[in-house]
Chains A and B, each alone.
Chain A
Amino acid sequence: MSVHFLEVLQPGILTTVQDTGRFKYQRLGYTQSGAMDDYALRVGNRLVDNPENEAGLEMTYVGEEFLILTDAMIAITGADFSPEVDGTAIPMWQSVNVEKNSFLSFKERKYGVRAYICVKGGFDVPRVLGSKSTDLKSSFGGYEGRKLKAGDILSIPKMSVDSGNINNKFPEELVEQNYRWYDEPQEIKVTLGPDTDNFTEKGYKTLLESEYEISEKLDRQGYQLIGSKIEHSSKSPNIITNFTSLGAVQVPGAGTPIILMKDRQTSGGYAKIANVISADISKLAQRGLGEKISFTSVDISRARELFINYESIVSKTKLEPLVDHLIFRVQVDNENYIVHIKEVDS
C-alpha cells in the first residue's frame, strides 16, 4: 500500500530518483547510476530512519517546487538551495516534519550543485535490476526512467506515515565541513594508473601540478576538464577497450582529462592516467561549471584508510536527537539568529 507524497509543481533542471546505484549488470552494459553525492544521500536516509541505500530525489543546480500531499518526515542534504516550507526556511541535514497541503520550495543556490530529498519510508518506485535509480540513457528505473516534470506525483509506502517519528540532526561540525567542501577550491585525491605506460613522466607532472577548470561538458556521465594538456607516451592514447571505474581520469588524444562519474559508459578505450579516490567522489560531485580543481596523489593503502574513515563518518556518526530542545529563529538588533533552547534543571 502506498500513498501520494508529493506533486511536482515547478520542475528544476534535472531531478531524478536515485539510490546508491545499480550493481552486477555492468558486464551486460548497464550503467551504474546512483546518487552522485553518495554521502549526502546516505546521511539523508539515516536522518529519516531509512536504510542508507534507499532512493531519494537528486536535484541539480536548482530545486523544484512541490506540493506535499501527505504528512511525512523528510531530510534535505547535499547542496544548499535554501529549502523553504510555505515560504519559511527549514533546516538542512536534519529530519523535518512536513504537513499535507504545504509547499516545499527552494529559494536560491548557496553551496554545491546537487541537493537530496529523502523521505521516511523511501520513494515508492519499482526496483529494476535491483535498484530504484534512474538510468537516463537507457530510460528505465526511477520515476518512469526519466527526470521529473510538472504534474508528476511520487508516492511513499503507507506504513511510513503512521509510524512514530524521532527527529535527528547530523552534527553541526560535520555539516560545516561539508559546506567547506562545497564552497572552496578543491584538491581532489587520486591514485595513479591503471594505464601508467600510456603517459610520460611529464604528463604525470602536468596532471599533479596544474589547476583544471570544470567545463560546460559536465553531467552525470562525466566531467570534461579545461587546462594544461597531458603528454601521452609513445604508446597510443587508446587502450584495448576495458572496464571503466567510478572516478577514472581518462585522457583522450586531445590531452585534457575527463573524469568518469555515475552514468559513465560501462567500457571505454581511452587510457586512464589516474582514479579519484572513493572518499573524494562525493566532494567532486558537488563541484560545478567553471569551478577549479587540482589533483594530488596518494597510494592505494592511504586511499583505503581514507575510504574507511569516510565510510565510518557516513554510516557511524551518531545522530543528535532533536527531542530535548526547541529551535527558534530570532532577530536581535536586526540580525537573524538560530537559537536552540533546552530546559535544564535549576
Chain B
Amino acid sequence: MEEEVRYIHASDCALIVSFGEDIYETVNKKVFALWKAIEREQVKGVVEVVPTYRDLCISYNPLEQTTDHLIEICNHLIKNLSYKEESERRVIEVPVVYGGEYGPDLEYIAELHNLTPEKVIELHSAPEYRIYMVGFAPGFPYLGGLDERLHTPRREVPNPRVPTGSVGIGGKQTNVLTITGPSGWWYIGKTPLVFADVNKDDPTLIKPGDYIKFAPIKPEEFELYGDENKGSNH
C-alpha cells in the first residue's frame, strides 16, 4: 500500500517531505529518489537537501522560493520518480579487527546472546548494511539490517570515551563511531579507516544510500593501513 506523502513545515525556511511513519528500506529509497531529482532539477532557492530515514528535509531561501511553489515542484517530481534509480549499489568494504582491545565488548555480547565470539563476528560481518542517513557527526552512518540475534539494549551508563573507528551495537542498530566521545553502545571491533576528512574532495568515506560490508581482519593488519587511512581523533 502506498503511503501518502506529507508536507510539514520544519520552520519558515525548511520543508519536510515525509514518505512514511516508520523505518523501511522502500520508504528510504523514495526519500533518496526525491533528493536526487531535486539535485538534478537544480530547483531555485534550495539551499540544502538532507535525506533521513523517512523524510527529505529541504532548506530554502524564502526570498527566492515560496513553500507553496516548492510543494508543487515536489508533487510534480514525486509523480515522475523512478524508484529504480538506485541501480548502482555502492558497497564500501570496511575492515574491522573484532574483539580484544579493539572491541572490548565482544565477549559480553557473545555471552548475552549465548553465542561464541566467532559466531557474533560471522553474523555481524555477513550483511551489506544500507546507510539510511548520515548525521550526528561528520561521516557517521545510520545503518539498517543488523541480525536480530545481535539486537542488544544500550548501556545503562554510557561509556565516557570511545575512540574513533569503533564498531558498535546499540538496540537494533550497528554503526561506526566517527568521532571520539561518550557512547551508550557496545563496541565489538575497530576499523582503521577514516570516515571523515575535510581535506579530501569527498569529505566523508561514505554517503547516504551506500552500503557497508564489514570484513574481519587480524590485529597485525590494522597497522598496515597507512597513516592517512588510520583513524585519527582530529
Chain A interface residues toward B at CB < 8 A: 23-30, 128-129, 137-141, 145, 191, 193-194, 240-243, 245-248, 265-267, 272, 275-278, 300, 303-304, 307-308, 311
- In the bound complex, residues from chain A placing their C-beta under 8 Å from that of B142 are 241
Task: Check A278–B203 contact: CB distance below 8 A.
Answer: no
Q: How many inter-chain residue pairs (CB < 8 Å) link A and B?
A: 135
- In the bound complex, residues from chain A placing their C-beta under 8 Å from that of B136 are 29, 265-267
In the assembled complex, the Cα of A72 lies from the Cα of B13 at a distance in Å of 37
Nearest 8 pairs between A and B by C-beta?
A: A267-B135, A243-B57, A303-B12, A275-B11, A242-B52, A29-B138, A245-B14, A194-B8
- In the bound complex, residues from chain A placing their C-beta under 8 Å from that of B9 are 191, 193-194, 300
- In the bound complex, residues from chain A placing their C-beta under 8 Å from that of B48 are 23-24, 26-27
Stretch at the interface among B59-67, B184-192, B216-224: B59-67
Task: Check A27–B10 contact: CB distance below 8 A.
Answer: no
Residue B51 interfacial (CB < 8 Å): yes
Residue B169 interfacial (CB < 8 Å): no
- In the bound complex, residues from chain B placing their C-beta under 8 Å from that of A272 are 10
Other-chain contact of B53, A24, A241, A245, A275 (Cβ < 8 Å): A241
- In the bound complex, residues from chain A placing their C-beta under 8 Å from that of B50 are 26-27, 243, 266-267
Task: Check A266–B135 contact: CB distance below 8 A.
Answer: yes
Task: Check B204–A28 contact: CB distance below 8 A.
Answer: yes
In the assembled complex, the Cα of A191 lies from the Cα of B47 at a distance in Å of 20
Listed by A's residue number, 10 A-B pairs whose Cβ atoms lie within 8 Å are A27-B50, A27-B51, A28-B134, A29-B137, A141-B198, A194-B16, A240-B22, A243-B52, A267-B136, A300-B12
- In the bound complex, residues from chain A placing their C-beta under 8 Å from that of B54 are 240, 242
- In the bound complex, residues from chain A placing their C-beta under 8 Å from that of B8 are 193-194
Q: With A241-B52, A246-B11, A300-B12 as given contacts, are A28 and B198 in contact (CB-CB < 8 Å)?
A: no
Q: With A194-B16, A242-B53 as given contacts, are A304 and B137 in contact (CB-CB < 8 Å)?
A: no
Task: Check A29–B57 contact: CB distance below 8 A.
Answer: no
Task: Check A29–B53 contact: CB distance below 8 A.
Answer: no
Q: Nearest CB to that of B46 among chain A residues?
A: A24
In the assembled complex, the Cα of A32 lies from the Cα of B47 at a distance in Å of 12
In the assembled complex, the Cα of A265 lies from the Cα of B138 at a distance in Å of 10
Q: With A28-B138, A241-B52 as given contacts, are A248 and B10 in contact (CB-CB < 8 Å)?
A: yes
In the assembled complex, the Cα of A243 lies from the Cα of B47 at a distance in Å of 14
Q: Nearest CB to that of B66 among chain A residues?
A: A304
Residue B212 interfacial (CB < 8 Å): no
- In the bound complex, residues from chain A placing their C-beta under 8 Å from that of B137 are 29, 137-138, 265
Residue B96 interfacial (CB < 8 Å): no
